[in-house]
Amino acid sequence: MKRPLILVTNDDGISASGIRNLIRIMNDFGDVVVVAPDGPQSAMGHAITIDSTLRCDKIVIYKGSQKEYACSGTPVDCVKLAVNQLLERKPDLCVSGINHGSNSSINVIYSGTMSAAVEGALEGIPSIGFSLLDYAHDADFSESEIYIRKVTQSVLDNGMDTGVCLNVNIPKTKEDQAIKGVKVCRQASANWEEQFEKRVDPKGRTYYWLTGKFVNYDKGTDTDEWALANHYVSIVPVQFDITAYPSISSLNKIFSNE
């Protein structure tokens, strides 16, 4: 059987520990091509580069059987460049991550990691975003590996529903608390309560830092937040049709009267 062609990207940049671990794992599954940002692109959401030029250069500084390209753009740019310019055929799988930090619940819409996976799904490629709930640069990805292998094998074996990708979040484990397994979930209804920290620069001009506290309003036990809090890996299927279908009929009533 032909080895799968696997596209790997992320939003923390091509040299991040998370993607280095993901590349190492993916080399066991197929022929890996890495197209990843040349620096951090966190919280870039589904941003793309339309008004400026893109750089994308082959690099050979890392060990392994993979081919690698460092790109000046966003994670979504990386997927578009890979599929439309760099690769000779459509990949069999697109994986993004391993993100340093959670992309559960509402974080999914801000996440460059997940936007790359959504873009993969848009291109018709089975796609997965992996995130570990540890923001540290030197996060320990070792316990993640078994679940990344399991989900990857499962997607290679079973494919993916059209227009859908997976948002996989992996809890940070402590010595006394191992991961219990995986849970298929919905996105929790949670949000950030933001505060801006106002400061004054050396020239006397005001600037702001975004800070915030994550608040989960959702009491459901079928959510990603519940799964993660209870030491499960959460798997949320994600789609790019963001129509709010239940609102169509009420809006029709309002606008048909006019």
Collapsed DSSP state (helix, strand, coil) of residue 4: coil
- Cα 170 from Cα 18, distance rounded (Å): 12
- Site map 225..244 versus a copy of itself, x via CB under 8 A: ----------xxxxxxxxxx
Of 27, 40, 59, 179, the one binding a copy of itself (CB under 8 A) is: 40
- With binding defined as CB under 8 A, does residue 150 bind a copy of itself? yes
> Which residues are CB-neighbours of 200 under 8 A, at least 6 positions away?
206, 207
β-pairing verdict for 164-170 and 232-239? antiparallel
Interface residue with a copy of itself, options 16, 93, 95, 106 (CB under 8 A): 106
Tell which phi-psi region holds residue 124, choosing left (phi > 0), alpha (psi between -120 and 50) or beta: left
Instruction: Work out how close the CB of 37 gets to a copy of itself at its nearest, in angstroms, rounded to a whole number.
Output: 13
- CB count in 10 Å sphere of residue 144: 28
Distance of CA 51 to the CA centre of its chain: 24
- Contact set for a copy of itself, span 126-145 (CB under 8 A): none
According to the binding rule CB under 8 A, does residue 191 interact with a copy of itself?
yes
Bridge partners (DSSP) of residue 174 are: 177
C-beta atoms surrounding 56 within 10 Å: 17
| Coil, strand or helix at 48 | coil
Contact with a copy of itself (CB under 8 A): which of 36, 44, 94, 125? 44
Residue ranges in 77-96 that form contacts with a copy of itself under rule CB under 8 A:
77, 80-81, 83-85
| 117 is a site residue for a copy of itself (CB under 8 A) | no
The residues in 6-35 that bind a copy of itself, with binding defined as CB under 8 A, are: none
- Closest separation between CB of residue 96 and a copy of itself, Å? 15
Joined together, the tokens standing for residue 60 give 């050979």
Longest Cα–Cα distance of the chain, Å, equals 66
C-alpha angle with apex 186: 182 to 190, nearest 5 degrees? 115
**Pick 175 or 194: Cβ nearer a copy of itself:** 194
CB closer to a copy of itself out of 83 and 133 = 83
**Minimum distance of a copy of itself from residue 63's CB (angstroms):** 25
Tokens of 180: 């219990």
Nearer to a copy of itself, 142 or 243 (CB): 243
Instruction: Rule CB under 8 A: choose which of 138, 175, 176, 194 binds a copy of itself.
Output: 194
String of contacts with a copy of itself for each residue 157-186, x by CB under 8 A? -x--x-xx-x---------------x-xxx
